[in-house]
Amino acid sequence: MTLWKFIKKKLHLASKVIAVIAVTMVVALIIGKAYQHWDDDPERGAVAVDNGAFGESYKTPIYLEQGWSEADSLWFYNTTQGSGLLPYDFFLVLEQVDSQALFRATSNIDKFRYLPQKPTFFNPDGLPVGFVKDTYQGHDYMGFTCAACHTGQVNYQGKAIRIDGGPSMADMVGLLTSLQKAMEATLDDPNKFERFANNVIALDNNYTDRQQVKQDLLRWNDNITLYNILNYSHVNYGYARLDAFGRIYNRVLQHVQNKSQVRDVLTLLKRPSHRQFLAKEEIDKVLDGINETIIDDEQFATIIRRLASKEPGYPALSFRDLLRVRNALFNEPNAPVSYPFLWDIPQSDFVQWNGLASNAGLGPLGRNTGEVIGVFGILDWEEKEPSFSLAAWLSGQSNKKKQVDFKSSINLTNLKRLENQLRSLQSPKWPEHIFGKLDPQQVEKGRLIYAQYCQSCHELIDRAAWDRLMVAKMSSIDLVGTDIAMASNSVNYIGNAGNFKHIYQGTDVGDVIVAQTAPVVQILTAVTTGVVATPDPDKIFLRRWLDWVYTLGMSFFDNTIKASVKAGNYQPDTTAKPYQSLLSYKARSLNGIWATAPYLHNGSVPSLYDLLLPKKQPNDPEDGKYRPDSFMVGSREFDPKKVGFKYTGYQGTEFKTFIAGNKNSGHEYAAGKTPQMDGTKLPPLTEEQRWQLIEYLKSI
């Protein structure tokens, strides 16, 4: 056989293989699209609630036209992204701490302001919106989907409206604290454990004997306890807020810093009296048997448990002292923000409250990967011997003596599919048939006020235009004047870089070298890159790589957002301060803003009307109109006049605005106190003008 014939034969064979792969992928795509529409319950799984939290009762929630069908909503609610909070069997049968009622009972779920659902095709066990079953390495877990934090509800006079992509009213901290207590009560009460074990085994799924149930309950209780300790904050988040970045940062540090770095931190830790915090012998005992490079969930839980242990040789630290250790190894997540609304996210140039994430190229996939790391993606990262791997190369570990293998439960393919689903989501229109008709004359007057006071930052877009582009306008924290905690933490929080010490990492102003103690934003960038570059370990070899290539290829080539310079008025990045532009907040289009209370990035203003008022300063007259300095959060009962939720007359979470992280100052354009982007200050709006502007804001 001649060389040319041999080459032709090989090329012919290769073309056949490529054709088969292409056909297989097309067929899989068609089947996948059809599968997404198998669950089309006309009520989208929603259920009525009688005498729920804060005395609320409502009929089965309705939906507004947002571009999604019943099947679209249900697929979004019930598609896993690879989150595993605890074993699925445990969540199904776990009892509440002080009764035999199930933890997942509608009344309990409603108390934490998650949205209860009835069983449907994709949700046969009737989990709440955004709670989902995920299977990883042969075991089933309950985890969160995007919808848990990004599906809202507005109640009005016994009616309820579900808002797809709207901000959740959820109290995640309350849920996780209560979950920990329920698991501890099950471990402590023999009768409770007997019922729990019998019910878990009766499911005939992942467990066959009580000892196996006991061991896993201990392990997962330790994991959730660890998470709650590492993320304890003196700032009470309450309802409708979460410091997601702070928690993602801590989860990354938990899996990155190595044993040597942890030892150094514990050795150098001092008490306020400058006395040594821990003796060398105590540190040795606490770290005995801990892995050198990767400290996983179980091992960090072991460290925390040993630090608090009263057995001989251990430090027996109080909770207060455990927080001292936490503060030395991690960062307090003390900057809770409102859950952002998701419509127009795929059409945005930059996302996150401080514009941290570019939406160009693979940006959405990296952003969503970081999010799943924060909401309980199972991170089976392992130390391995150096070899060429794309994940090691892209994450900067090519020349390391050891490398991190980024195996995890994170489902990259589904993350891409979920992002695609959001492209068709539209903002909700003001429902005049429920809240009352808009006044066209007031709307027009408000439109002119908006053009003068708001539009330079908050552009107008067509909510249904297929080619719409949402441009984020960034304003420096010094100029906009709102609470600085979230933006400052994103830049200033630091931690041990572990195996990523001295890697090179690109920034907009050039490459930087990651120090041993580095900004966590650098470490987060490295690990999300590594996870994105790692195919799904739960799939067979061929499908694993085909899915990975398809996901990355489509994420890049199917993305209409191109790399661009941020718009707005902010301090640019420099070689000395490569993340300075993140010390700013994003203004975005306000279509559907009526459905997204409370307001400002940290949820510190309860209604649109209050947002148009000034923050009361010490020398201001007492009889003026000002933003409330404290108010209640938790009710979904809507006020269509002021445009916000009811914030007095019930026992929800008291929002106190004098605490750092909760400040309600700034963004006082309508009050004539905050200058426009060009530096001019407009006169304060009159009372009549405020109502005109609100009428217009309802209409967009």
Q: What tokens were used for 439?
A: 């006044």
Mean pLDDT of 90-100: 97
Q: Which range among 30-39, 437-446, 529-538 shows the weakest confidence by mean pLDDT?
A: 30-39
The tokens 């939406």 sit on which residue? 359
CA distance 238 to 112: 9
Q: Hey, CA dihedral for 232, 233, 236, 242, is it positive or negative?
A: negative
Tell me how far apart the alpha carbons of residues 397 and 390 are, in angstroms, rounded to a whole number: 10
Cut 0.85: pTM above it: yes
455 burial type by CB count under 10 A (0-12 exposed, 13-18 middle, 19+ buried): middle
Which candidate, 339, 204, 219, 318, places its Cα nearest to that of 271? 318
Phi (first) and psi of residue 587, to 5 degrees: -105, 135
Instruction: Indicate whether 11 pLDDT > 50.
Output: no
Average pLDDT over residues 583-605: 98
Does position 292 have pLDDT exceeding 50, yes or no?
Answer: yes
Tens of pLDDT, residues 151-169: 999 999 999 999 999 999 9
Sign of torsion over alpha carbons 302, 178, 182, 144:
negative
**pLDDT band with cut points at 50, 70 and 90 for residue 273:** confident
The C-alpha atoms of residue 438 and residue 447 are separated, in whole angstroms, by: 13
Dist CA 655 CA 641 (whole Å): 21
CA angle 443, 448, 454 (to 5 degrees): 105
Confidence of residue 16 (pLDDT cuts 50, 70, 90): low
Residues 6+ apart with CB under 8 A from 603: 240, 241, 336, 337, 338, 633, 655
Residue linked to tokens 């923050």: 615
Q: By percentage, how much of the chain surpasses pLDDT 70?
A: 95
Residues 6+ apart with CB under 8 A from 204: none
Residue 607 half-sphere exposure toward CB, CA atoms < 13 A: 26
Q: What angle (nearest 5°) sits at the alpha carbon of residue 558, between those of residues 555 and 562? A: 90
Answer whether residue 15 shows pLDDT above 90. no
Number of residues assigned to the chain = 700
Looking at residue 104, what DSSP letter applies?
T
pLDDT for res 489: 97
- DSSP letter for each residue of 128-150: PTTEEEEEETTEEEEEE-GGGTS
Predicted pLDDT at 33: 61
Is the pLDDT at 27 greater than 90? The verdict is: no
Which is nearest to 86 in space by CA: 376, 297, 382?
376
If you compute the radius of gyration of the chain from its CA atoms, what whole number of angstroms results? 26
Q: How far apart are CA 362 and CA 611, in angstroms?
A: 36
**Residue 136 dihedral angles phi and psi, to the nearest 5°:** -140, 125
pLDDT of residue 4: 45
DSSP symbols for 537-555: TTS-HHHHHHHHHHHHHHH
Is residue 95 over pLDDT 70?
Answer: yes
**pLDDT of 12 over the 60 cut:** no
**pLDDT for the residue 284:** 97
* pLDDT tens for each residue of 626-640: 999 999 999 999 999
What would the two tokens of residue 524 be? Answer: 């987060």
pLDDT in tens, 169-214: 999 999 999 999 999 999 999 999 999 999 999 999 999 999 999 9
Residue 244 φ then ψ, to 5°: -65, -40
Does the structure show a pLDDT above 60 at 26?
no
Alpha-carbon distances of 95 from 117, 180, 483, rounded to whole Å: 19, 12, 39
Grade residue 1 by pLDDT with cuts at 50, 70 and 90: low
Beta carbons within 8 Å of 34's beta carbon, 6+ residues apart: none
Number of CB atoms found within 10 A of residue 651's CB: 9
411 pLDDT more than 90: yes
Q: Tokens 């056909």 belong to which residue?
A: 23
Q: Is the peptide bond before 431 cis (omega within 30 degrees of 0)?
A: no
Distance CA 562, CA 268 (A): 46
Among 349, 482, 488, 445, CA closest to 695 = 445
Q: Which residues pair with 379 in a beta bridge?
A: 408
Has residue 274 got a pLDDT over 80?
no
Lowest-confidence segment of 18-22, 410-414, 638-642, 678-682 by average pLDDT: 18-22
- The pLDDT of residue 576 is 95
Contact assessment for residue 241 and residue 249, using Cβ atoms and an 8 Å cutoff: no
141 touches 88 (CB < 8 A)? yes
Query: Which pLDDT band holds residue 595 (cuts at 50, 70, 90)?
Result: very high
Nearest-angstrom CA–CA distance, 154 and 645 = 8
Instruction: With beta carbons less than 8 A apart as the criterion, state whether 339 and 240 touch.
Output: yes
pLDDT at 13: 53
DSSP 8-state secondary structure symbol assigned to residue 498: G
Residue 483 Cα distances to 337, 477, 520, 571, angstroms: 10, 8, 21, 17
pLDDT, the chain, mean: 94
Strands (E), 104-219: 131-136, 139-144, 151-156, 159-164
pLDDT, tens only, 314-350: 999 999 999 999 999 999 999 999 999 999 999 999 9
Number of other residues whose CB lies within 10 A of the CB of residue 659: 15
Cα angle, residue 697 at apex, residues 612 and 662 outer, rounded to 5°: 45
Q: Give per-residue burial for 207-235: e unless 16+ CB within 10 Å, then b.
A: beeeeebeebbeebbbbbbbbebbbbbeb
